[in-house]
Amino acid sequence: MRKEHQYLFIDFEFTMPERSERFKGFYPEIIEAGIVSVVNDQICEKFSSYVTPNRFPMLSDRCKSFLKISQEQVNSGISFTDLVKKFEQLSSPSLDLTIVTWGNMDMRVLRNNCEQAGLPFPLKGEELDLSMEYKRFFGDQNQTGLWKAVQEYGKEGTGKHHKALDDALTTYNIFRLVEKDKKYLQGHAPTTIGDRIDFSQVLNKFA
């Protein structure tokens, strides 16, 4: 990681609709946020909270079942406005910032939720979709799921999948593994054909 550089590893869980009139005009809203702030390769802060949705405050049965999140948990969560304020507090104006997510959905939903709430987008920095970085680095045809990616490294994800802070920590761990592999490859120049073949032995054969 670059010196004096801040990374925010972010994961959100969102609302999910049922097919009913009650969810007409639906758009996904953040209901759980996990954030890991890293400066100079050191975790400075971990943040986790449920978030109360504005547009559709009642969770669908599908959402509660899939994410294992209860209505009571989101009802007791912070407001979306408070989540935006938290991002403003976390990002240091004196440091370059990179926002790292697994996939592009998290930032798309955050932007849309800000627009719907009439709030400015709180993060000013480079955005890195680590799933695409992982795909390019390993030459995969398709994007790999977060926990499958960490298992391909022979590791296990942190905590439980689809728990926002656990997934943010798992994203951070994969980022470190990929960065380590990149440095290893940069430190080893590709071999030339002369390195692989002993030409003196070849010439002796035909002497």
- Cite the active site residues: 13, 162
Question: What does the alpha-carbon distance between residue 25 and residue 81 come to, in Å, rounded to a whole number?
Answer: 21
Q: How far apart are the first and last CA of the chain?
A: 54
How many CB atoms sit inside 10 A of residue 151's CB?
Answer: 13
For residue 13, give the 3-state DSSP assignment: strand
Count, residues in the chain: 207
Buried b (16+ CB within 10 A) or exposed e, 180-196: eeeeeeeeeeeeeeeee
Structure tokens at 46: 């971990």
